[in-house]
Amino acid sequence: MTSTFAKLAPLVLVFAVNGAWAHGDVKCTTRPKAEWKPHTELHEKLTKEGWVIRRMEATPSCYEVYAKDPQGKRIEAFFDPVTFARVEEK
């Protein structure tokens, strides 16, 4: 059993690291953080539109939202923190 784990551990690590890099191309804004609107405003806006927010994070240039969209689909979405416009992954 230990030898199986030893063989699989590097593979698991590769997938974990690749997942962390998956959104490296998403760029929302280059404006300073002092100009960003509070994430609570985005949360309120999305909730009014029918989203069910599970978690929100700030990346270096975006707000990243983990939620269910108004159709009930689980989704990870990126929003410009200044305009709240949705940004698609490249």
Structure tokens at 70: 């108004």
27 by DSSP, 3-state: which? Answer: coil
Beta strands in 1-90 (DSSP E): 52-58, 63-68, 74-79, 86-87
Structure tokens at 58: 């700030």
pTM over 0.95: no
pLDDT per position as a tens digit, 24-73: 578 888 999 999 999 999 999 999 999 999 999 999 999 999 999 999 99
Q: Does pLDDT of 3 surpass 70?
A: no
Give the model's pLDDT for residue 2.
53
Q: Does pLDDT of 79 surpass 50?
A: yes
The DSSP element (H or E) to which 17 belongs, if any, is helix 2-20
The domains of the chain are located at 33-87
The DSSP element (H or E) to which 41 belongs, if any, is helix 39-48
68 by DSSP, 3-state: which? Answer: strand
